[in-house]
Amino acid sequence: MTDPRDRTCDTGLRKRAAAVIPGGMYGHQSARPLPPEYPQFMREGRGARVWDADGNQYVDLMCSYGPVVLGHRHPVVDAAARAQAELADCQNGPGPAMVELAELLVATVRHADWAMFAKNGTDATTMCATIARAATGRKRMLVAHGAYHGAAPWCTPRPAGTTQEDRANLGYYTFNDLASARSAVAEAGDDLAAIMVSPFRHDAGFDQELVDPGFAMGLRELCDATGAALILDDVRCGFRLHLGSSWEPIGVDPDLSAWSKAIANGYPLAAVLGNDRFRGGASDVFVTGSFWFSAVAMAAGIATIGALADEGAIEAMERAGGLLRDGIRAQAKSHGLDVNYTGPVQMPYLTFAGDENYALGKLFAAEGIKRGAYIHPRHNWFVSAAMTDDDIAHVLRATDEAFAVVKNG
Ligand SMILES: Cc1ncc(COP(=O)(O)O)c(C=O)c1O
């Protein structure tokens, strides 16, 4: 199928960007590693639909890489943000919304006795590490091999511009392998400040792996035995799997947790939540940012958490995600294609068996995007609570034809 979409505007913007933006674009939203059929620039979003700069429409299965959970331009969230914006956003001190949001998070998330706010997930994971070190007076932190915790020098997946010293105090374990965590803890000796972990294994480019509850409990026990902090990086999963920390359903509470992405439905906000054991460390560290106290995103956060509960958003995502998974698996089978569809249904990831260089995944995604399904070949997808049956039917029409192209080469 030739690409039916007009790409004029995107092509022009890419050319202009190449002159004034290093590499033409950077970071996780760079379209450079994606098939050329992907638009780089986006214009608009509403509910589960987005439009690129040329006005081509897509059903959005990336949700801005996670922040949009209730759908784009959610009326209740946007009204709360507008009402706050009419008063003020960035002032000499935070607005009352900060206290209200902290109270709401403490009431919503079981392990939380307090909350602090920032802007991005990297701020939150870095703050968790800093607080753990301040509270314990120790240096070493364990992370899983291949896990993504942000783009600061201590955790960026691309080493350019970083030094070995940036990671000198990190140790590594394998996700879901308690023996490897035990030996990393032993290696850290009496200098272990924290173990950081994501709710499930969602490393980009790999089939996803749900957490073994025994592994989660084992990490909790290791932290209890050593006095280290258990840090849950809920930046990507938070408020998509559960209205509380993502490990509440398996009964494991971290000491500290990092949040961002979905907590304000696309408004820029991150949070660190913690228990009373780490309140002292959290009070001691100096962490701040020019925009960390701005009130609009906090008002949006309050409205988002309210709407997640009022609208049964988690259940809505589970339902939509379940329909999508069943439809896609049935299509792959009917085309005789062997696919892995992994992870929770709200955050699925699709790969083709034996597709070492992502060639089939890229072809599938490119054929999907041409047909108006905004999926991704190397990153988990995100289902929002705004997805209707019509949206799912649209995606499934696109994926069925994309599978046919993959099958026929
Ligand atoms: C698990 C996890 N931690 C941390 C981050 C970093 O968040 P941010 O890009 O907002 O700094 C991300 C972002 O994708 C993430 O998925």
Task: Encode pLDDT of 17-32 as tens digits.
Answer: 999 999 999 999 999 9
Ligand 1 pocket mutation, candidates 125, 211, 245, criterion most atoms within 8 A of CB: 125
What is the distance between the alpha carbons of residues 288 and 188, in angstroms, rounded to a whole number? 30
Task: Return d(Cα 159, Cα 228) in angstroms, integer.
Answer: 27
Ligand 1 atom at shortest distance from the alpha carbon of 260: 10
65 secondary structure, DSSP code: G
| CA 301 / ligand 1 centre spacing (Å) | 18
Quick check: 403 and 331 in contact, CB under 8 A?
A: yes
Whether residue 52 contacts residue 43, with contact meaning beta carbons closer than 8 Å, is answered with yes
How is 267-336 classified by DSSP, letter by letter? SS-EEEEE-GGGHHHHHHS----TTTT-HHHHHHHHHHHHHHHHTTHHHHHHHHHHHHHHHHHHHHHHTT
Is the overall model pTM greater than 0.75, yes or no? Answer: yes
Q: Is 157 left (phi over 0), alpha (psi -120 to 50) or beta?
A: alpha
**Residue with CA at minimum distance from ligand 1 atom 7:** 121
In the reported structure, the alpha carbon of residue 320 is separated from the centroid of ligand 1 by a whole-number distance in angstroms of 24
Check if 260 has its Cβ closer than 6 Å to any atom of ligand 1.
Answer: yes
Cβ–ligand 1 contact at 150 (below 6 Å): yes
Is residue 233 in contact with ligand 1, taking CB distance under 6 Å?
yes
CA distances from 271 to 16, 45, 110, 124, 354 (A): 36, 25, 15, 6, 39
- Ligand 1 binding pocket includes 126 (Cβ within 6 Å): no
Q: Which tokens belong to 346?
A: 């709200």
Looking up tokens 């939380």 gives 112
Q: Report d(CA 165, CA 238) in Å as an integer.
A: 31
Compute mean pLDDT per 10 residues along the chain, 409 residues long, and list them: 94 98 97 97 98 98 98 98 98 98 98 98 98 98 98 96 98 98 98 98 93 98 98 98 98 99 98 98 98 98 98 98 98 98 98 94 98 97 98 98 95
> Which residue among 28, 143, 149, 246 has the greatest number of ligand 1 atoms within 8 angstroms of its CB, and so is best to mutate?
149
Q: How many CA atoms lie within 13 A of 102 on its CB side?
A: 17
Residue whose CB lies within 8 A of the most ligand 1 atoms, among 156, 261, 269, 292, for a mutation test: 261
Which residue, 336, 321, 299, is CA-closest to 76? 299
CA 83 to chain centre: 27
How far does CA 25 lie from the centroid of its chain?
Answer: 20
Task: Report CA(209)–ligand 1 centroid distance (Å).
Answer: 18
Q: How far is the CA of 47 from the centre of ligand 1 (A)?
A: 23
The structure tokens listed for 397 are 């029409």
Q: How far apart are CA 224 and CA 231, in angstroms?
A: 12
Contacts of 359 (CB under 8 A, 6+ apart): none
CA distance 245 to 120: 18
Q: Which two structure tokens, joined as six digits, stand for 105?
A: 């998070």
- pLDDT at res. 336: 98
Q: How far is residue 124 CA from its own chain's centroid?
A: 13
Write out pLDDT tens, residues 303-359.
999 999 999 999 999 999 999 999 999 999 999 999 999 999 999 999 999 998 899
CA 261 – CA 301 distance, rounded (Å): 11
Q: Is 64 left (phi over 0), alpha (psi -120 to 50) or beta?
A: left
Please say whether the beta carbons of 212 and 179 come within 8 A: no
Ligand 1: atom nearest CA of 198 is 1
pLDDT in tens, 131-153: 999 999 999 999 999 999 999 99
Q: What pLDDT does 356 receive?
A: 87
- The answer to whether the CB of 201 is under 6 A from ligand 1 is no
Read off φ and ψ for residue 281, nearest 5 degrees: -60, -40
**Cα-based distances in Å from 373 to 37, 50, 192, 314, 381:** 12, 10, 45, 22, 11
Ligand 1 center to 262 CA (angstroms): 11
